[in-house]
C-alpha cells in the first residue's frame, strides 16, 4: 500500500476510535461521529441533511410513551422504547398519571380510555407534521 492509503486507513481508525468513545457519551454525538466517518469513507458524497437527528417535541415524546403503554410496559421498557432518560421518564409518567391518561397496575403502566383517545389524536398530529415537513422541503427546493 502507498503512503496515501496508509494515511486514509489511519484517519479512518482514529475516527472509529473517536466514535466508540463518543458512543459511551450519548447517541446524538455518536450519530454525528458516524456521519463524519461516512464522510471519510465517501468523501465525494455530501452529508445529507436527512441523516441529522431531529429533536422530538413534547407531543411526539408523549406519543412514544403512550404507544409503549398501549400493551402495558414497565418503567425501564418505557424509558428504552420512548428513548428517555430516567429523569425525563419520571416527569412524563407522573404528569400522565396525574391527568388520568395512564394508570399503574403491578409495576406496569397501561393506557386509560382517555389515553387511547389522546394516542389517536397524537398519531394524527405526527402524520400531519410529517406531511407538513415534506411540503416545506419541497417548497425549499423550489425556492432556493
**Cell 389522546 -> residue:** 118
pLDDT of 103 over the 90 cut: yes
The pLDDT value given to residue 67: 96
Residue 64: pLDDT above 60?
yes
What average pLDDT does the segment 48-75 reach? 84
Query: Contact 63/119 with Cβ under 8 angstroms?
Result: yes
Neighbours of 103 (CB within 10 A): 15
73-84: average pLDDT: 94
Residue range 34-58: average pLDDT? Answer: 60
Element (H, E) at 4: helix 3-23
- Rounded Cα distance between 95 and 115, Å, is 12
pLDDT at 46 over 50: no
Per-residue pLDDT band for 101 (boundaries 50, 70, 90) equals very high
Average predicted confidence (pLDDT) for the chain: 80
Q: Look at residue 24 and tell me whether its pLDDT is greater than 60.
A: no
Separation of alpha carbons 4 and 35, rounded Å: 22
Window from 107-111, 114-118, 134-138 with minimum mean pLDDT: 134-138
pLDDT at res. 47: 46
Amino acid at each position: 500500500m502507498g503512503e496515501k492509503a496508509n494515511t486514509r486507513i489511519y484517519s479512518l481508525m482514529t475516527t472509529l476510535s473517536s466514535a466508540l468513545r463518543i458512543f459511551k457519551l450519548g447517541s446524538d454525538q455518536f450519530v454525528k461521529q458516524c456521519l463524519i466517518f461516512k464522510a471519510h469513507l465517501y468523501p465525494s458524497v455530501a452529508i445529507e441533511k436527512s441523516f441529522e437527528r431531529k429533536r422530538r417535541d413534547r407531543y411526539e415524546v408523549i406519543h412514544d410513551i403512550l404507544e409503549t403503554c398501549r400493551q402495558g410496559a414497565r418503567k425501564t421498557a418505557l424509558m428504552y422504547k420512548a428513548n428517555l432518560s430516567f429523569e425525563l421518564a419520571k416527569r412524563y409518567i407522573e404528569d400522565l398519571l396525574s391527568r388520568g391518561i395512564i394508570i399503574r397496575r403491578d409495576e406496569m403502566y397501561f393506557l386509560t380510555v382517555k389515553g387511547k383517545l389522546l394516542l389517536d389524536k397524537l398519531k394524527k398530529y405526527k402524520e400531519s407534521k410529517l406531511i407538513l415537513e415534506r411540503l416545506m422541503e419541497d417548497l425549499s427546493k423550489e425556492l432556493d
